[in-house]
Chains A and B, each alone.
Chain A
Amino acid sequence: MFAHSDAAAGGTPALAQRVVPVKMVVAGGFGVGKTTFVSTLSEVEPLTTEASMTSVAAGVDNRGDVGTKTTTTVAMDFGRLTVDETLVCYLFGTPGQDRFGFMWDDLANGALGGIVLVDTRRFDDCFPAVDYFEHRNLPFAVALNAFDGQVAHEPAQVRAALNLSDDTPVVVCDARQTSSAKTVMLALLEVVLARAMAKRGG
């Protein structure tokens, strides 16, 4: 039932050039600056899409029937950075609340890495994200947003408190400023690059 056009002639977009997609996940507590960070780095106004998920609370009730399913709808925003004609990077902000953790797999699957934004006055809010990235063995950077113009805890303190691995960067950041968001991204990409080079070497 499909009319065949001139695909064989090589003139179609698909055959012209394939665009390779990569992505980064921007995580952290509610109101910590995820959307701001994404929009600072994105070349377009961040887009929003509704992610509707049926979560199965497996094993909780020991029944395993449909009664344990719940559907949740969350808005997810993301930005785009076109590198060149064949490479594009997406920045996905996680819906902040930890109860949406079940949908992070969708975001983190195949991601280059993660950025955990931290408001040092509400330090605990970052724990689920840090736990998650460590659990996935996904490289990540921790960015401390200075909401009152300064951070309540210095990077070294945060590193110790979170018991971060040596190769996880901790940087002070203002998510509203391009230069600052860039620094965070590059710190993360250095780790991503080091891992890729180590894999290639070994």
Chain B
Amino acid sequence: MTDGGNARSRSFLDQHRPAVGEEPGRARRGVRPYLITGGRTVGHDRSIEIESQVVQSGLALDDAASPESRALIQICSKSVSVAEAAALLSLPLGVTRVLVADLVASGVLDHHRGDGAVDDVDVIRRLMARVRAL
């Protein structure tokens, strides 16, 4: 972090005017919005990221499972992200996360994150090669 960031924020905060239809922010001045509000989703499970991959484990779903859970399992016949599953099911991200967490807990879905990829030189090089090929 640089000191310049603070100066810039002040300038932003001084100049910012809520747009039409926007709620006037409380206690906006001097505090960055993302520090004021600790964003929380209902049932939010920190271990399940939006890009986390979910895929069928091979365990069959309980007969009593909800239609949404069945639809989710169908989509996870191949590895997809939580965000893709939400988009394909037209379900809000928060709801999808809860469904995923339940199905992971009961063993029907396998789930894994991209932990460590940020520092993985091989991963970054492969991605660069893919972008160059676009």
Q: Which residues of A contact B (CB under 8 A)?
A: 1-7, 11-15, 18-23, 41, 47-58, 60, 73, 76, 78, 80-84, 87-90, 92, 97-99, 101-107, 109-112, 124, 127-128, 130-132, 134-135, 137, 162-163, 165, 178, 182, 185-186, 189-190, 192-193, 195-197, 199-200
Report the minimum CB–CB distance from A78 to chain B (whole Å).
6
State whether B87 touches A48 (Cβ < 8 A): yes
**Of B1, B81, B106, which one neighbours A21 at CB under 8 angstroms?**
B81
Q: Which residues of B contact A (CB under 8 A)?
A: 1-5, 7-9, 11-12, 15-16, 19, 22-23, 25-27, 32-34, 36-42, 49-53, 55-63, 77-79, 81, 83-84, 86-88, 91-96, 106-108, 110, 112-115, 117-121, 123-132, 134
Report the minimum CB–CB distance from A48 to chain B (whole Å).
6
Closest-by-CB residue of A relative to B52 is A21
- Could you jot down 25 A-B contacts, CB within 8 Å? A2-B107, A3-B59, A6-B58, A7-B58, A12-B56, A14-B55, A20-B123, A49-B91, A51-B94, A54-B41, A55-B37, A60-B27, A88-B53, A90-B83, A98-B16, A101-B32, A101-B33, A102-B36, A124-B12, A127-B12, A128-B12, A134-B2, A135-B32, A186-B131, A200-B121
Bound complex: CA A2 to CA B105 (Å): 13
Chain A to chain B: the 3 pairs with minimum beta-carbon distance, closest first:
A163-B4, A7-B58, A102-B39
State whether A22 touches B32 (Cβ < 8 A): no
State whether A163 touches B34 (Cβ < 8 A): no
State whether B23 touches A51 (Cβ < 8 A): no
Report the minimum CB–CB distance from B93 to chain A (whole Å).
5
Across-interface contacts of A49 in B (CB, < 8 A): 83, 86-87, 91-93, 96
**Of A5, A185, A195, which one neighbours B131 at CB under 8 angstroms?**
A185
Bound complex: CA A12 to CA B95 (Å): 26
Mostly, the B contact residues are mixed
Report the minimum CB–CB distance from A52 to chain B (whole Å).
5
Bound complex: CA A18 to CA B117 (Å): 13
State whether B36 touches A57 (Cβ < 8 A): yes
Closest-by-CB residue of B relative to A48 is B87
Q: How many A-B residue pairs have CB under 8 A?
A: 252
State whether B59 touches A90 (Cβ < 8 A): no
Across-interface contacts of B60 in A (CB, < 8 A): 2-5
Mostly, the A contact residues are mixed
Across-interface contacts of B86 in A (CB, < 8 A): 49-50
Bound complex: CA A171 to CA B39 (Å): 32
**Of B25, B79, B88, which one neighbours A99 at CB under 8 angstroms?**
B25
Instruction: Given A2-B60, A21-B114, A83-B127, answer yes or no on A102-B93 (Cβ-Cβ < 8 Å).
Output: no
Closest-by-CB residue of B relative to A19 is B79
State whether A178 touches B51 (Cβ < 8 A): no
Bound complex: CA A60 to CA B60 (Å): 48
State whether B40 touches A53 (Cβ < 8 A): yes
State whether A1 touches B125 (Cβ < 8 A): no
State whether A112 touches B117 (Cβ < 8 A): yes
Bound complex: CA A18 to CA B116 (Å): 14
